[in-house]
Amino acid sequence: MKAGVITFLGSNCDDDALYALGDVLGADTRRLYYYETALPELDLIVLPGGFSYGDYLRCGAIARFSPIMQAVREYADAGGLVLGICNGFQILVEARMLPGALLRNDCVQFRCQWVHLRVENADTPFTRGLTPGEVLRIPIAHNEGNYFDRPEQIAALNARGGVVFRYCDEHGEVTPEANPNGSLENIAGIISERGNVLGMMPHPERACEETLGSADGMRILRAIAASVAQRVGT
């Protein structure tokens, strides 16, 4: 699998993503920069976490205008896989590549902690091999992860299987207490209508080895690699 990780001004999880994909997963990785206007041949593009452009205006609001984002949009429009993690999710929402908005956490605090995620949709290129209802343990680190959209849009998102992950307790129960940021319906990750663009607030790259506290994030990255392998027939 060939994976590109974008470094925006203010990214701070790009090295983490490159390590998880390259050193742990064994993918052929390449660092991409915000000012690039053309992409190499890739199977996956990752928009990593961080504080692109200092989170001025809104998280991701300036990064969406980076030169590389036009190429990312064209890549996604052609069916390429795109994964936005934390700030990357915020950028994808600001670029309207994913619906909704990410507001400030309802606790008005930056939250850096382990959370549990329930897999809601296992029929995606990002969750291949996972089971609906199973629970993953992955960390978060954000101040604006409170997912919001209009009621009719949330209903449409649910109807098409657009919610991929929800915050839950260790037993898989979706409860208010398990929600770290106030996201509507405990939403932690969503996918585009076409099914090739995923945004999630938790950091799978920070849960890629047991020595980090969990390797559950690697299951997501391996699912992507398996989907790519099937696409190319290897």
Q: Which residues are catalytic?
A: 86, 203, 205
3-state DSSP call for residue 214? strand
Find out whether 51 and 62 touch, Cβ atoms under 8 Å: no
Tell me 50's DSSP state: B
Tell me 122's DSSP state: -
Q: Which residues pair with 102 in a beta bridge?
A: 147
Dihedral of the CA atoms 153, 154, 158, 159 (nearest 10)?
A: -30
Token representation of residue 37: 């206007």
Residue indicated by tokens 């409170």? 146
Find out whether 52 and 8 touch, Cβ atoms under 8 Å: yes
Q: Which amino acid is at 182?
A: G
d(CA 43, CA 39): 11
Find out whether 95 and 102 touch, Cβ atoms under 8 Å: no
Q: Which residues pair with 138 in a beta bridge?
A: 115
Find out whether 143 and 104 touch, Cβ atoms under 8 Å: yes
Q: Tell me how far CA of residue 62 lies from CA of 47, 169, 228, in angstroms.
A: 14, 34, 31
Find out whether 52 and 87 touch, Cβ atoms under 8 Å: yes
